Structure 1
C-alpha cells in the first residue's frame, strides 16, 4: 500500500495483464481479447498490482460503455464488480447478472451504497469495483463523489479507466491513492479524461466539473 496522495502515471506503451489464473479466467481472457479485436478496441497500460482497487470508468454516454469495459477488464485477466439493484439479481436471469459481477444493493431500504461498497471490500481478498463517476449516461455538470469516498473508506487506490471512442482504446492512465481531500484530488483524476471522447461526445464535457 502506498502513502495517501501517491500518484502513478501509467506507461501507455505497455499493456501487461494480470498473471494467469484459473482455466475459466484464461478462457474468458481470450474471449474478451477476441471481442475487443472484432470491435476495433485495444487496451493500454499494465493492470495495477493491487488486489483491491476502485476503477473510475468514463466517459459513460452509452450502454455499450459497460460492455467494452467488461471486455477490456477480461483482456487484462481481471473480473470487474459493480453495484446494481438487488432486483436485477433475482428472477430467471438473476444468475447471469450475478455472474457478470453485480453486487446487489437493496434500494428499498435506507442502505448506504458507499458503506455497502466499503463492507464488500473488507469482506473480499480481491475486489475490483468499477464505478462510473458521472452516475448516468446523460450529460451532467458534476461528478458524484461516491467512488472517492468508497476508496478512502476502504483504503484502496483509484485507477482511471479512460474509454476513448476516438482511438477505441481503454487506457488505465493513472493510479492515485486518495489523500482524503476530495477537492484536491478530483482535478488530478479528471485530468486523465481531459481528451477522452465518449460514444456521444456531446454528453461528456469536462468544463465546469
Structure 2
C-alpha cells in the first residue's frame, strides 16, 4: 500500500516531509484542517511514512453505511455535542498500549474558528507524551510532520512554539483556517 500511496501523492504533486516520533507514543495535531481532502491525503501520507496512527473524528462519521470504513482506517469516534470525559478516556488508551499515536484536529471542524480546542493540550499533558505537529500546506503541496514538542505546562509558551512551527502553512481554504489560540486567550483579545 505504501508504494501505491507514494505514487498517488507524487502523481498529484504532493511532497511528504516527515520527522519520525521520538517515542512510541504521541499526540499529533493536524493543522490547518479546512477540507475533506485533508483526510484522504492524510491517510495516504500515513501509509507512506508507516506510522500506525489513529485519528479522532466526529462520531456521526461512524454510522451506517460508511462507518466501518472510518473504523477500519483507524478512526476513534468522538462525541462533540456533549462533555463525555473524552480526554481522560483517551489518556487511558495511551496507558493501555505500548505504542499509540493519535491525530487530532485542534480546530475540531473544517470551518473558520476564532480559537482552537484545548483538549489536545490537556491530553498530551495528562498522557505525558510528546506533541507532534502534523500539517498540510496546499500552497506548497506539502504534508507530513514538522516536529515534536515536549509541552511544559505553560500554555502561552507552548502555544507560541506551536504557532512558530505552523507559520506560513496554508489549508486548501485559507479563509477557513482556525486561529491558533485557546478560547480563553481569544476571549481576552475580543474575538
**Aligned residue runs from structure 1 range 24-173, under 5 A:** 28-86=1-59, 88-105=61-78, 110-173=83-146
- Name the CA shift for 1:205/1:114 in 2 (closer, same or farther; >3 Å): closer
1:101-150 CA-to-partner distances (Å, cap 9, x unmatched) read: 11234668752121121111111222111111111111111111111111
1:54 to partner: Cα distance: 1.0
Number of the residue aligned with 1:189: 162
Q: Distance in 1 between matches of 2:81 and 2:179?
A: 33
- Name the CA shift for 1:143/1:85 in 2 (closer, same or farther; >3 Å): closer
TM-align CA RMSD: 2.3
- Retained in 1: the 8 A contact 2:113–2:179? no
Q: Distance in 1 between matches of 2:77 and 2:180?
A: 33
Q: Distance in 2 between matches of 1:32 and 1:183?
A: 38
Q: Distance in 2 between matches of 1:140 and 1:55?
A: 19
SS of 2:112's partner is: coil
- Retained in 2: the 8 A contact 1:70–1:80? no
1:14-67 CA-to-partner distances (Å, cap 9, x unmatched) read: xxxxxxxxxxxxxx3222212211221111133224211111111111111121
Q: Give the structure with the higher percent helix.
A: 2
- Name the CA shift for 1:124/1:162 in 2 (closer, same or farther; >3 Å): same
Number of the residue aligned with 1:201: 174
